[in-house]
Amino acid sequence: MTDVKTSRPAGATTDRPRRPSPSEAVASMGLIPTLGVTAGGLGFLRPASGTWGSLPPAVVAGVLVVAGQPAWLVDVSLVLLLLIGSVACVRFGVAAERTFGKKDPGQVVADEVAGQALTLLALPWAGVAGWAGMSVPPDGVPVAMFDVGLAVAGFLLFRVFDIVKPPPANGLQRIGGGWGILIDDLIAAAMAAIVLQVAVRALF
């Protein structure tokens, strides 16, 4: 018996693969892995899922500093986010790539959480004293506004470096599995952190 194959009309295009829904991802990977790699579901938001995934560390740092919490608490919170994002990538990265059908899928934003947390670590905030020092805002600029601006600057710098991925970050994307998802973002984050630290310490 000969198999019957359906033919497409001339000029027809192949349908794009359908993105798995959140419920399908949970069914495939489980609830905790899905929440981990998508940063609580932020990876499903469109457009620019990586930008959504970068928000939690920036928001946490900004809120804690403006609330007058000690610098050590800000840095401990960022270290926890860095560890959580890193572990989620390494532990569940392979399963996520299998579920979403591509390498380093856009839904996986735990790497952005880790990278953004690294960029904001050990900053010399103006509103709280800590081992990293303190910045002195320009005359007329409220301390809270300066610190929010510093968090925003770190957020934007990381997004630029994460998108551009200067060498060697771009080459590290070839690494397989969860490490391949994570390591390029950490290198981009380290570059952004150096630029931010040098700029804020030189200017303020």
- Asked if the structure places residue 5 within a domain, the reply is no
Selection from 134, 151, 154, 162 nearest residue 195 by Cα: 154
**What pLDDT is attached to residue 15?**
47
d(CA 110, CA 104): 11
pLDDT above 60 for 5: no
**Lowest-confidence region among 78-82, 110-114, 137-141:** 137-141
Amino acid at 57: P
Q: Where residue 128 falls among pLDDT bands split at 50, 70, 90?
A: confident
More confident residue, 193 or 17: 193
What is the tally of structural domains in the chain? 1
**What pLDDT is attached to residue 175?**
80
- Asked if the structure places residue 29 within a domain, the reply is yes
- Asked if the structure places residue 15 within a domain, the reply is no
pLDDT above 70 for 104: yes
- Asked if the structure places residue 152 within a domain, the reply is yes
- Asked if the structure places residue 2 within a domain, the reply is no
Domain that holds residue 58: 22-203
Query: Is the link from the previous residue into 168 a cis peptide, with omega within 30 of 0?
Result: yes
- Asked if the structure places residue 1 within a domain, the reply is no
pLDDT above 50 for 7: no
pLDDT above 70 for 163: yes
- Asked if the structure places residue 147 within a domain, the reply is yes
User: What phi, psi does 142 have (nearest 5°)?
Assistant: -60, 145
Specify the pTM.
0.88
- Asked if the structure places residue 172 within a domain, the reply is yes
More confident residue, 137 or 18: 137
Instruction: State the average pLDDT over residues 176-185.
Output: 89
N-term to C-term CA, the chain: 80
More confident residue, 19 or 204: 204
